């Protein structure tokens, strides 16, 4: 009889080989990849069986669903209960009487939320090996790793045609940082000059964004005087198999101290103050009013998660219902970056040379940017309370506690929905990087758990 090793033993062998034999011999980006693979192997070894059947049974009992329903059926029913209970809570806040049936529904909703949060806590523990080796979004540094020879050959020919002259020397290297696009640092030497570009390549729709929309926004903002890299060309996908666009490389520093952050905050405030009429046409489906902007922002991410998931996510539906009742405009419509802060701007000699990573840009409420900076992206620099005082002092941005809470909840909702798309891309085999799995499981669960606790 043929021997048949268990999946667990096979993955354990992979993990041990990576950690014991391969990692000690590597450094730089190659070591990072091997480290991610070791986390992936440890996750495969320790995660156990699919918990959804037992979780479905547990929630079905609360919901009164007979038999052994599938997770999708239970999730749909749970979403209905949570959203209905949110509506009752809003009515109670407005002074409506609390009936016995309403009290029963709210008790049921509380039990469902408690169980769903417990599931997320379990998921975070299970995905710990992925987080241990996760390559976090840091500075966009050029690595020592050259891109694949076939990719280099295709790009060299493409750039020769784009520039209209032969290329004497061509170099292409990976740029670290970020997950929505794969980026290459390209140096092109012709008979007359040496040029540097950044190639920004689509990655299967990660974060429910696309390069064509980002390109249109960047072009419009560049023409309006916003510090944005100049885009030179775009390619629909026949060269590398995926769409990409090419922008001129902006030289400067990605690392941000407080002095650089102050200059950035002033530039971000200037972006929010610009007249949106001049760039509106670059934003597909731009809202006509601040109130419409709120609804479109919630709907955008709700639709993104539904497109990426094979069933409803009750806590996301619960959050969307809460946001529709509690998120309100703080001012006129603005150009919103969507992911502002350290790592997403380039500075030099006291000036912002370029704001980068515009994939989340839209027309909406400036509070989204400020709260995202202070409550999420910027916490590596100082905590949120320090940011609140700092932003008031440096750019005169101030909100009350309810506004901070509501927009923090929105940014967590946006982050959870966006991160869920990474799992969808990983499952579809569009891309198979270990980082996508970490984003779509551990980071997604962490954001959703924090969101649900915040709105409770």
151 and 230 housed in the same domain: yes
Largest separation between any pair of C-alpha atoms in the chain: 83
Examine the fold and report which residue of 183, 218, 248 is the final residue of a domain before the chain moves on.
248
DSSP 357-426: --TT-EEE-HHHHHHHHHHTGGGGTS-HHHHHHHHHHHH-----HHHHHHHHHHHHHHHHHHHHHHHHHH
Query: Tokens in use for 354?
Result: 């370029």
According to the model, what pLDDT value does residue 135 have? 65
Q: Considering the domain boundaries, does residue 137 fall inside one?
A: no
Rg (CA), the chain: 24
Residue 291 shares a structural domain with residue 175: no
174 located within any domain? yes
Domain final position from 76, 101, 126: 126
Helix (H, G, I), strand (E, B) or coil at 169: strand
- pLDDT, residue 110, reads 96
Residues 446 and 302 in one domain: yes
Instruction: Calculate the alpha carbon distances from 81 to 55, 70, 78, 309, 315 in Å.
Output: 17, 17, 5, 19, 11
Give the pLDDT confidence score for residue 137 in this predicted structure.
52
Q: Which of 385, 295, 382, 286 is nearest to 334 (CA)?
A: 286
In three-state secondary structure terms, 386 is helix
Q: How many CB atoms lie within 10 A of CB 217?
A: 24
Same-domain check for residues 68 and 99: yes
The answer to whether position 404 is within a domain reads: yes
Instruction: Assess if residue 363 is contained within a domain.
Output: yes
Please, are residues 71 and 47 in contact by the beta-carbon 8 Å criterion? no
Do 42 and 71 lie in a common domain?
Answer: no
403 and 381 within one domain: yes
* pLDDT for 94: 59
Q: Per the structure, how many domains does the chain have?
A: 4
| pLDDT average per 10 residues of sequence, the chain (456 residues) | 82 92 84 88 93 97 95 97 88 63 92 98 95 66 68 94 95 82 94 95 92 97 98 93 96 93 98 97 96 98 97 98 97 98 95 97 98 96 96 97 98 98 89 88 96 96
Domain that holds residue 207: 142-248
- Within 13 Å of residue 155, how many CA atoms lie on the same side as its CB? 30
Residues 408 and 390 in one domain: yes
Residues 200 and 296 in one domain: no
| d(C-alpha 44, C-alpha 28), whole Å | 25
Give the pLDDT of residue 279. Answer: 97
Q: Are residues 310 and 376 in the same domain?
A: yes
What's residue 93's pLDDT?
Answer: 60
310 and 355 fall within a common domain: yes
CA distances for 11 relative to 6, 17, 47, 128, angstroms: 9, 10, 11, 16
With respect to residue 289, please indicate whether it lies within any of the assigned structural domains. Answer: yes
Is 2 domain-assigned? no
Do 294 and 365 have their domain in common?
yes
Cα–Cα distance between 329 and 323 in angstroms, integer?
A: 12
Where would I find the beta strands (DSSP E) of 194-316?
194-202, 231-235, 244-248
397 inside domain: yes
**Tell me, what's the pLDDT at 187?**
96
**pLDDT value, residue 88:** 83
Q: Using alpha carbons, select from 308, 306, 305 the residue that is nearest to residue 427.
A: 308
Residue 78 CA to residue 74 CA, distance in Å, equals 6
**Is there a single domain that holds both residue 343 and residue 442?**
yes
Domain end (from 248, 271, 296): 248
Residues 47/39, Cβ–Cβ less than 8 Å: no
The structure's pTM equals 0.94
Say how many Å lie between the first and final Cα of the chain, rounded: 57
């Amino acid at each position: 009889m043929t021997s048949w090793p268990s999946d667990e033993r096979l993955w354990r062998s992979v993990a041990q080989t990576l950690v014991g034999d391969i990692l000690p011999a590597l450094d730089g980006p190659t070591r990072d990849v091997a480290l991610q693979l070791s986390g992936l192997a440890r996750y495969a070894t320790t995660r156990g069986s699919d918990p959804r059947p037992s979780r479905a049974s547990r929630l079905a009992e609360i919901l009164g669903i007979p038999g052994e329903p599938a997770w999708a059926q239970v999730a749909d029913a749970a979403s209905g209960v949570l959203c209905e209970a949110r509506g009752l809570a809003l009515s109670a806040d407005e002074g409506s009487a609390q009936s016995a049936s309403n009290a029963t529904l709210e008790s049921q909703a509380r039990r469902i939320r408690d169980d769903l949060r417990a599931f997320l806590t379990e998921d975070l523990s299970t995905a710990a090996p992925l987080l241990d080796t996760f390559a976090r979004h840091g500075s966009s540094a050029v690595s020592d790793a050259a891109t694949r020879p076939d990719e280099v050959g295709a790009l060299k020919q493409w750039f020769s045609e784009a520039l209209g002259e032969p290329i004497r020397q061509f170099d292409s290297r990976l740029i670290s940082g970020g997950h929505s696009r794969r980026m290459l640092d390209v140096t092109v030497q012709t008979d007359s000059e040496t040029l540097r570009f950044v190639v920004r390549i689509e990655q299967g729709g990660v974060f429910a964004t696309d390069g064509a929309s980002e390109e249109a926004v960047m072009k419009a903002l560049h023409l309006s005087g916003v510090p944005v890299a100049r885009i030179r060309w775009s390619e629909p996908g026949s060269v590398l198999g995926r769409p990409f666009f090419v922008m001129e490389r902006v030289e400067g520093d990605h690392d941000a101290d407080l002095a650089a952050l102050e200059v950035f905050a002033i530039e971000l405030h200037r972006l929010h103050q610009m007249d949106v009429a001049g760039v509106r046409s670059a934003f597909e489906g731009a809202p006509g009013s601040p109130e419409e902007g709120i609804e479109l922002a919630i709907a955008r991410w709700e639709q993104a998660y539904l497109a990426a998931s094979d069933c409803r996510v009750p806590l996301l539906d619960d959050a969307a219902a809460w946001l529709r009742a509690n998120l309100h405009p703080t001012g006129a419509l603005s150009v919103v970056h969507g992911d502002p802060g350290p790592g997403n701007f380039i500075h030099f000699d006291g000036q912002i040379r370029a704001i980068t990573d515009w994939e989340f840009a839209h027309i909406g409420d400036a509070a989204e940017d400020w709260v995202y900076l202070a409550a999420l992206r910027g916490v590596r620099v100082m905590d949120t309370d320090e940011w609140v005082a700092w932003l008031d002092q440096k750019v005169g941005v101030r909100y009350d506690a309810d506004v901070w809470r509501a927009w923090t909840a929105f940014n967590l909702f946006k982050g959870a929905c966006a991160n869920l798309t990474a799992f969808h891309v990983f499952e579809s085999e569009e891309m198979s990087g270990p980082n996508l799995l970490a984003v779509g499981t551990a980071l997604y669960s962490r954001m959703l758990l924090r969101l649900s606790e915040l709105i409770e």
